[in-house]
Chain A
Amino acid sequence: MAESNPANVAHLLRRAAFGGRPEEIDAFVGRDLGEVVGEMFDHTAAPPAGEPPRRTTGYYAYSDEVLRTWWLHLASSSPTPAIERLAWFWHGHFATSLDKVEQSSLIHRQLVTLRRLGLGRLDQLLLAMTLDPAMNRWLDLHLSEVGAPNENYARELFELFSMGVDNGYTQADIVEASRALTGYSLDVVPQTEVVTGTLLLPELHDHRTKTVFGSSGNWSADDLVRLIVERPEPAAFISRRLWLRYAGTQGSQQIIDSMADALRSGTVVDALRVMLTSDEFYSDEVKAGLVAQPIELLVRVARNFELPIVSLDLAQLVADDEDEGLPEEMWEYVAVNWWAFEMGQHVAAPPNVAGWPHNDAWLDASHVASRIQAGRDIGWFLTDDERPPSASSAFLREIEDPSTLATAILRQFGLVEWSDATHAAVTRAAAADGWTASDQAFAAAFFSPEVTFA
């Protein structure tokens, strides 16, 4: 098992828990890594997900902005950030967009389901997503009826969600699976058009025999999921996806096999435990090999520098307006959402069903420019005279010496080591204008390689 030295613990928390505050890193150093991982994913320690207050019982119970603020608050304040980070992984895996789903409470429901079931067994998770109304609307499942099935969901179920492209299934399997998934309609309240769930309508379902993976029967959703997870491919595919998003590299066959074995006979957390305690996860190649996603960076800043969103009371969100979102007075909570948008990662609006960009796709000039700008905005926010600082960010206004300031900033980002070049750059940003420009020092740290890379 890997060693729980400071560099490894900091790396673990950055990859799996939105980064760690300096004291959180210190608390884990020297402990058994298996225990640490177990504690990180202890669902009994997780807070309830909660829900934003609903303005109406109608269609737009709360605005998109409120939905996003709710999730960002949860991720930023939760005592179990690893669980929130895993929910974020699943959100990217079963990528569904609010733009098409429209009803914000459906996305809320999906996120809560992913958070809860994402720790557990793969078949339960796949079935829950197959029956999830947000997913249904997103991939047109409700329009798929006996005699006129569409392949949208069935294809993505195999290709993106469970097995990987052309990996153990054929076009015929997709066609047959589409027939098995006919009739899954949306349960809608007629007067308000509010969708409340998925409903299998027998008259719209194809009751004939379907053959998937050579096995024939009058299959419907739960049968289909069972047939899928009986195959060897899903556990390996999901393990590869977890490794890709947490470790960033290709991953050796051994580690993928070990994770897949754990997942096949157990849960997602079992597979994560294998991954996060392996020596390979702590290799230099893995440590240097992954760019932090914008949301990871922002949640890390929120947690480590104590942005106001951490102390948001959900009841405050009742001030939401259907068209305008939250009022200007609540800007300090909404800011994180805005910066996420600026950086190109808006919660619940992935570019398409394949999910978020990965790794070096975040490093083109356009995205780098947006990180520079977001870093500047956050730096200003944290040092704004008209806003009292949080306890964790007060030092930005107190430390005069640029070099000392640079060290403190880098440390507050949850780094335990950094290059001389980065320290020099952050110091320069603080000093070059003739006063101690802590906002610029923050911004320079934000776009430094150590923070850019997860």
Chain B
Amino acid sequence: MNDTHMNDSHTTSTGAHDRHPRHMMDRRRFIGLSGGVAAAGLGYQFGMRRPATAEVSLASSVVPARAQVAAVGERILVSVQLAGGLDFLNTAVPLGSGRYRDLRTDGAISESDVVALDDSYGLYSMPNLAARWQTGSVALVHGVGWPNSTLSHFEAEHVWERGTVDNANRTGFLGRALDELGGSQDPMIGISIDRLSPSMSAPGWWPASLPADGAMPWTNREEWNRGLVEAAQMISQPQRGEAELLAKYRASHQTVFDLSDTVGAAFGAEEESESSWLGSQLATVADLITAGVATRAFHVSQDGYDTHADQTASLPVLLTELDDAIEMFFRRLGSDASKVTLMTWTEFGRRPEWNGSGTDHGTAGLQFVIGDAVRGGHHGEPPSLTRFDRDDNFVPTTDFQGYLGGVVGGVFDIDPRIPAPGVRRTLEVIT
């Protein structure tokens, strides 16, 4: 499912051999130019990023199919999932801590390899973010978790996506927020890249999802394609009394039309290909924002943080990718950067002790929040390095609901109980 994109280097970021069938792109051109109705003149180049025609004014070419154009001055939230469980201890490294070195032994990061944020912590392998920290627009939120949390990725991920430990709740923290903002009238209020993240699951409707290259089948639909377009329009008509699966099917077909109309024109010419999968996703998000699409929340993800083994090699690669992608993203936004808040979420942190090659699942994750609307600095207490729970894991200090309620509630100026139904104390991380 993560393979719907066209760019290079979508592998887990452990330096694995690039297995991408790049040469296949040439085959597409080959098949597109040979025979039959697949002749040149086809407006849509299947699957490839469409180069914009020269001098097109992106803002004016964006015509939303259904929704009103929202005031582009409204705040936008970009949610970055760090999948696998980021090891906070080797990311925000405690300075001058003998205890840290005892726990991590030969897996400990040396202080010469971090950029000091202050007297207490240094950031590993993220020099751009460390520089941005000095501007006061980066929040480090420590020890995020919940009591008796699970060590299962998938359970923990589900809890995060729902924004509650109540597993009867089928909606997501972003989905509920977007619903509050009126999203049921315009599914493009939320765009999830690559697949619709369950964090964007909404009550009775479905936000949009988009492959990272933005390719949509009905962009610039040509006259001679009319038959297929009409067929798709026919089957996308909602019908009364249909089961939910069919309703979602029809709604998604409709959203594909909407995306084709609004998104197709939003991509700039001559993309430099991004060097990482995360970079590609964030480049797409940046382009959509600068083109003025009426979207309030985006979801992207970076995989690979489950560093049970070989962490010394893999973690810095991941963090560099993350750092570079975030830096590129804000730069690419240009003057729109001030509207955007970027938040990360990861299902948990990792075990205090080094396992010889890496770290196993733990608790108490570290999250980042970045943007002009952010109260920069440390939030929440870093977990104690000496007092652990029954399973020898860190004790969380910040309720994840407070984090989600604080960020999502703050960015959208909505009740924090909407993203986080069980929140008791909201983290004051957004101005």
Residue positions of A touching B, CB distance < 8 A: 64-65, 97-100, 102, 139-140, 143, 145, 147-152, 155, 159, 165-166, 171, 288-289, 291, 324-325, 328, 331, 334-335, 337-338, 341-346, 349, 351-352, 354, 356-357, 359-361, 363-370, 372-373, 376-377, 380-381, 383-387, 421-422, 424-426, 428-433, 437, 439-441, 443-444, 447-449, 452-453
Contacts and interface: CB of A to CB of B under 8 A. Distances in A.
A448 B235 contact: yes
A264 to B, nearest CB: 25
Nearest to B34: A386
Contacts of A444: 227-228, 231-232, 235
Contacts of A99: 11-12, 16, 19
A313 B41 CA distance: 36
Contacts, number: 249
A145 B38 CA distance: 57
A422 B226 CA distance: 17
Contacts of A367: 1, 4, 195, 209, 252
Given A363-B249, A368-B253, A429 B231 contact: yes
A386 B217 contact: no
A324 B19 CA distance: 10
B249 A452 contact: yes
B171 interface: no
Give the most central of B83, B209, B235: most A CB within 10 Å: B235
A143 B309 contact: yes
B101 interface: no
A368 B253 CA distance: 7
A433 B12 contact: no
B387 interface: no
A282 B1 CA distance: 29
B355 A149 contact: yes
Nearest to A158: B152
Nearest to A143: B309
Given A357-B195, A380-B31, A151 B235 contact: no
B355 A148 contact: yes
A171 B232 contact: no
Given A140-B308, A150-B309, A328 B217 contact: no
Nearest to A175: B391
Contact of A384 (B14, B35, B245): B35
Interface string B149-187: 011111100000000000000000000000000000001
A341 B1 CA distance: 9
9 contacts: A165-B150, A165-B154, A165-B155, A357-B1, A364-B196, A369-B215, A369-B256, A376-B217, A447-B232
Contact of B245 (A289, A369, A424, A441): A289
B249 A429 contact: no
A444 B227 CA distance: 9
Interface string B36-55: 11100000001100000000
A429 B233 CA distance: 11
Contacts of B2: 344, 351
B377 interface: no
Contacts of B195: 344, 357, 361, 364, 366-367
Given A151-B308, A383-B36, A437 B19 contact: no
List 8 A-B pairs, minimum CB-CB distance, nearest first. A148-B356, A432-B227, A364-B196, A140-B309, A366-B209, A444-B231, A429-B231, A365-B255
Contacts of B192: 364, 366
Contacts of A97: 12
Contacts of A145: 356
B273 to A, nearest CB: 17
B240 interface: no
A65 B47 CA distance: 19
A352 B210 contact: no
Given A372-B256, A376-B217, A433-B226, A338 B24 contact: yes
A151 B232 contact: no
Contacts of A344: 1-4, 195
B248 interface: yes
B259 A369 contact: yes
Given A151-B360, A288-B243, A368 B252 contact: yes
Given A99-B16, A324-B23, A341-B24, A439 B154 contact: no
B230 interface: yes
A152 B234 contact: no
Contacts of B391: 171
Contacts of A381: 31
Given A289-B245, A422-B235, A351 B37 contact: no
A440 B4 contact: no
Contacts of A291: 245
